[in-house]
Every structure is written in structure tokens, then in C-alpha cells.
């Protein structure tokens, strides 16, 4: 069963904080939930479905947060696929709504790695001792930065992608961030700034990496009848896709593409739209290489041509062919909880509503795509794609 057109995003809220040492994780979730519910013009008691990712949610699955916020639920789903969770949740919420399991779904994300002093990118993160891959990987120091760096190194080797091309992704994000009063890095940077910034994990420089921030965001997803009764612009979910990519026991290792190759295809097929129809794209930008690979995987350019595609401002709103991450993205704005999927949906919703900053608002933005990857491109990950249409 397709869920095309069976769910609408009627509420979206991004927490303005980027550093929250005095706010608890549960409180951040509650604050973003309140923001999204108010944005939709609903009340807390209207919520009967709740989606969150176990990994950024304190307590067992969504139990503690449902209690904290006093939610009365008919449907709960704490699927955690890392940063792509919230994109996946939009699809799962659409399915639950279409199946009549709930009517109005809340999705929340929050995190405070900055206040907690987590060295997100450069320190290998120890997992659970039952994690079967841990003993074979963790000792070698797989930090987030060097995992993505190994993808970039191979992409460069295989396709001739250059550091200057990767830098253009950051340059475009910074052009957008200058208009975002909440952005952590609002200064416009040049290709030279990026390639001359300190090397973190060859070939990725410091400015190829996203920020570390506290914060969060929330969405409200509901069925057509309710969406049409509210006073917000109509943002219809027309295509969703998810996919898992791993190593199949180390057979034919290929780190030059992501699960987006499959999730994107599924979302485009369901939506029945073409790439040229997409006016705006939110693309998870944990690193510059993440964007280049995912644009290829989603089919916005040929495999291996991502570097060329992003060059010369092609991702800058008002300049290039595919405006992306007009909030400044993870590279410049924020990366709450080290999970970028939520803000990708939120900025796409702003674009479709015509509520992005006027300097970056895409004219006649009727179709937008949001895509992300959760986990690590260097080992195993889940890609999730959402295509939305303004009605």
C-alpha cells in the first residue's frame, strides 16, 4: 500500500538553543514538542501517536518521555536509525496514520552533546559489548570523522573528486547560514578557507565537518482531513523510502555510495515526480562528502559526478540549480544530538510553506526532498528519504 498523500506535516519546530547546559534532555524534548504542537494550532491532548529514536530519548524507548509530557497514546514507535531516524519516522507515521492506528503523530529529537562535552567526531564511541562488530572495529579507532574520511578518500581515488569540490558544499551552506540568526557559524567562507583549515582526518579538513550542538526539533504529522481543518499551509508527504547498507561480511566493499541509492529510488517512485521537479533539497551534511555522495545516490547527478555538481555555487539558493540546506545545515547551523535528520525535514517544511528566510526562500517551492543517513557511511547505516509537496 502506498502512503502517498495520506499524511501531512502540519507542525514543525526547531529549538533555538545551540547550547543548553541548564536544560535537561527530557525538558528539551518537551519544549520542542510544545513548539510543534503550537505551530500546528493543536493541543497536547490531540496527540495520539509518538515517534522518537531510542538513542536520544532518556528512559526505555519512548516510555519516560510519554510520561514526562503526559501523552495519551494509541501508537508508539522508538525506532532508532541514528541521524536518519526522524526522516524514517515521517514515513512510519504516514503508515500508522494511513492504517488508522493514530490520527496525529508527534516526532521529537533532542540532544545536548555540546554541554556534555562529547568529542563527537574525533573520539571513537564505545558501543554495547554485545554489539558483534565492536571487538573487530573499535580497537582501530573508528571515529566519525575518519569513517567518512575513508569514504572521501576512496571517492577521490575512484572519481577524481577534489578537496576544492567538497569545499563548495561548505561554502554554499555558509552563504545560507549568514541569514540564520541562530546559526553557530554564520560567517561566509570561501573554498580557500575550507581547504586551508586544519586537517582532521585526511582528506577532510575541519571545515568539512559539521558543528556539535545542543538543541532539537519536532514535527506533527496527521491525516488529510485534520490537516485541511488547520490554518497552516498544506505540506503533503508524497513519497518516502528507507534502506540499509552494510558490508555483507566484507564482500565487495564499496564506500563510494550510500543507502540513499535505494531509499531515494523508492521515495521517487512513490511520489511519481522527477528530479527536475524538486525545487529544494535538504541533504544531511554531517560532512561535505556526505552531501556529494548522497546527491549522486539520490540521482541528482551521475555517479562520480557529485564533486562537479556541487561546484561553483550550484547548491546556493538564488545562484545554483539545486538550493540545499537553506538554514545553514549541519555544517553551519546546528546538529542537535549529533542527529541531523530532523532539521532536514524542518527546513524543507519552511521552504514549502514559504517561511524560509526571504534571502534564501526558493521561488515557487512546490516540491521538496529531505534525505539523511544514520549510522556511519564507513561501516553500516540507514538512509531515509522524504518527498513533500505544497498543496
Cβ at position 113, least distance to other proteins in Å:
17
Tell whether residue 125 is a contact of other proteins (CB under 8 A): no
34-42, 142-150, 262-270, 309-317 -> range binding other proteins (CB under 8 A): 142-150
Tell whether residue 323 is a contact of other proteins (CB under 8 A): no
What span, in angstroms and rounded, lies between the C-alpha atoms of 33 and 337?
Answer: 16
Tell whether residue 138 is a contact of other proteins (CB under 8 A): yes
Q: Between 250 and 358, whose beta carbon lies closer to other proteins?
A: 250
One-letter-per-residue 3-state SS of the chain: CCCCCCEEEEEEEECCCCCCCCCCHHHHHHHHHHHHHHHHCCCHHHCCEEECCHHHCCCCCCHHHHHHHCCCCCEEECCCECECHHHHHHHHHHHHHHCCCCCEEEEEEEECCCCCCCCCCCCCCCCCCCCCCHHHHHHHCCCHHHHHHHHHHHHHHHHCCCHHHHHHHHHHHHHHHCCCCCCCCCCCCCHHHHHCCCEEECCEEHHHECCCECEEEEEEEECHHHHHHCCCCCEEEEEEEEEEECCCCCCCCCCCCCCHHHHHHHHHHHHCCCHHHCCEEEECCCEHHHHHHHHHHHCCCCCCCHHHHHHHHCCCCCCCCCCECCCCHHHHHCCECCCCHHHHHHHHHHHHHCCCCCCCCCCCCCEEEEEEEEECCCCCEEEEEEEEEEC
Cβ at position 159, least distance to other proteins in Å:
13
Q: Which of 22, 43, 117, 129 forms a contact with other proteins (CB under 8 A)?
A: 129
Q: Between 83 and 203, whose beta carbon lies closer to other proteins?
A: 203
What pairs with residue 336 in β-bridges? 213
Of the candidates 386, 390, 88, which has an alpha carbon nearest to the alpha carbon of residue 264?
386
Tell whether residue 318 is a contact of other proteins (CB under 8 A): no
What pairs with residue 243 in β-bridges? 383
Q: Between 140 and 363, whose beta carbon lies closer to other proteins?
A: 140
28-36, 65-73, 128-136, 306-314 -> range binding other proteins (CB under 8 A): 128-136
Tell whether residue 135 is a contact of other proteins (CB under 8 A): yes
Say which residues have a Cβ less than 8 Å from residue 198's Cβ, sequence separation at least 6. Answer: 205, 206
Q: Between 149 and 169, whose beta carbon lies closer to other proteins?
A: 149
Q: Between 310 and 377, whose beta carbon lies closer to other proteins?
A: 377
x-marked contacts with other proteins along 179-198 as a string, rule CB under 8 A: -------------------x
Tell whether residue 146 is a contact of other proteins (CB under 8 A): yes
Q: Between 34 and 154, whose beta carbon lies closer to other proteins?
A: 154
Tell whether residue 122 is a contact of other proteins (CB under 8 A): yes
What span, in angstroms and rounded, lies between the C-alpha atoms of 296 and 379?
Answer: 19
Of the candidates 138, 117, 136, 118, which has an alpha carbon nearest to the alpha carbon of residue 127?
138
Cβ at position 117, least distance to other proteins in Å:
15
Q: Which of 105, 107, 194, 200 forms a contact with other proteins (CB under 8 A)?
A: 200
29-37, 71-79, 139-147, 339-347 -> range binding other proteins (CB under 8 A): 139-147
Q: Which of 1, 130, 231, 364 forms a contact with other proteins (CB under 8 A)?
A: 130
x-marked contacts with other proteins along 227-256 as a string, rule CB under 8 A: --------------------xxxxx-x-x-
Tell whether residue 370 is a contact of other proteins (CB under 8 A): no
Tell whether residue 128 is a contact of other proteins (CB under 8 A): no
Count of residues in contact with other proteins, rule CB under 8 A: 38
What span, in angstroms and rounded, lies between the C-alpha atoms of 187 and 171?
Answer: 10
Q: Between 149 and 292, whose beta carbon lies closer to other proteins?
A: 149
Query: Which residues in 56-115 contact other proteins (CB under 8 A)?
Result: none
Cβ at position 259, least distance to other proteins in Å:
16
Residues that bind other proteins (CB under 8 A): 122, 129-130, 132-143, 145-146, 149-151, 153-154, 157, 198-204, 247-251, 253, 255, 379
Amino acid at each position: 500500500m502506498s502512503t502517498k498523500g495520506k499524511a501531512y506535516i502540519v507542525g514543525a519546530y526547531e529549538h533555538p538553543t545551540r547550547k543548553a547546559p541548564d536544560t535537561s534532555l527530557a525538558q528539551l524534548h518537551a519544549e520542542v514538542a510544545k513548539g510543534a504542537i503550537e505551530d500546528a494550532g493543536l493541543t497536547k491532548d490531540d496527540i495520539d501517536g509518538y515517534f522518537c529514536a531510542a538513542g536520544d530519548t532518556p528512559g526505555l524507548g519512548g516510555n519516560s518521555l510519554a510520561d514526562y509530557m503526559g501523552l495519551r497514546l494509541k501508537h508508539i514507535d522508538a525506532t532508532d536509525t541514528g541521524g536518519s531516524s526522524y526522516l524514517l519516522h515521517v514515513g512510519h507515521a504516514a503508515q500508522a496514520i494511513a492504517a488508522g492506528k493514530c490520527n496525529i503523530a508527534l516526532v521529537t529529537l533532542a540532544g545536548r552533546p555540546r554541554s556534555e562535552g562529547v568529542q563527537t567526531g574525533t573520539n571513537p564511541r564505545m558501543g554495547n559489548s554485545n554489539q558483534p562488530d565492536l571487538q573487530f572495529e573499535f580497537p582501530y579507532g573508528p571515529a566519525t570523522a575518519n569513517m567518512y574520511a575513508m569514504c572521501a578518500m576512496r571517492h577521490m581515488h575512484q572519481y577524481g573528486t577534489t578537496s576544492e569540490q567538497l569545499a563548495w558544499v561548505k561554502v554554499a551552506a555558509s552563504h545560507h547560514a549568514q541569514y540564520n540568526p541562530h546559526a553557530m557559524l554564520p560567517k561566509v567562507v570561501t573554498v580557500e578557507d575550507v581547504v586551508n583549515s586544519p586537517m582532521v582526518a585526511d582528506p577532510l579538513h575541519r571545515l568539512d565537518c559539521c558543528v556539535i550542538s545542543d538543541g532539537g526539533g519536532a514535527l506533527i504529522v496527521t491525516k488529510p482531513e485534520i490537516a485541511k481543518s488547520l490554518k497552516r499551509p498544506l505540506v503533503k508527504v508524497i513519497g518516502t523510502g528507507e534502506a540499509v547498507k552494510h558490508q555483507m561480511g566484507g564482500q565487495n566493499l564499496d564506500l563510494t555510495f550510500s543507502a540513499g541509492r535505494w531509499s531515494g529510488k523508492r521515495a521517487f517512485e512513490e511520489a511519481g515526480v522527477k528530479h527536475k521537479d524538486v525545487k529544494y533539497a535538504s541533504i544531511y551534511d554531517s560532512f561535505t562528502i556526505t552531501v556529494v555522495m548522497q546527491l549522486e545516490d539520490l540521482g541528482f547527478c551521475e555517479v562520480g559526478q557529485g564533486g562537479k555538481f556541487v561546484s561553483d555555487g550550484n547548491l546556493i539558493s538564488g545562484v545554483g540549480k539545486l538550493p540545499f540546506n537553506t538554514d545553514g545545515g549541519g555544517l553551519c547551523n546546528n546538529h542537535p544530538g549529533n542527529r541531523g535528520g530532523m532539521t532536514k525535514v524542518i527546513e524543507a517544511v519552511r521552504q514549502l510553506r514559504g517561511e524560509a528566510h526571504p534571502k534564501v526562500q526558493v521561488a515557487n517551492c512546490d516540491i521538496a526532498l529531505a534525505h539523511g543517513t544514520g549510522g556511519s557511511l564507513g561501516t553500516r547505516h540507514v538512509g531515509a528519504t522524504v518527498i513533500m509537496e505544497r498543496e
